[in-house]
Amino acid sequence: MNVFFILLILFPVISVILGIAGYAIFKNIIAAPAVVFFGSMIALFLVFNETFLIWVFGYTILALVSGVFVKAFNKKVN
């Protein structure tokens, strides 16, 4: 599989889905970004090199932002 597809499409989509699902399941904004962060850190050491670290922070922020959007949407609906 192409590395650029993984970095630019697949991992961000997975981060957003985990951010949404993490808030829906745990009702906690921090749970899903923590899972994304630790999972990405494991991938950093096992699959990628140290330049992947910037992507780790980007995916974590993306999961956090998607969780915040879901929380705001739930608060607005309820």
Domain residue extents for the chain = 3-73
**Per-residue pLDDT reduced to its tens digit, 16-67:** 999 999 999 999 999 999 999 999 999 999 988 899 999 999 999 999 999 9
Higher pLDDT pick, 63 / 2: 63
Residue 56's pLDDT is what?
95
Does 5 have pLDDT greater than 80?
yes
Residue 58: CB atoms within 10 Å: 15
Binning pLDDT at 50, 70 and 90, where does residue 77 land? confident
| The pTM of the whole model exceeds 0.85 | yes
Specify the residue for token string 């889905």: 17
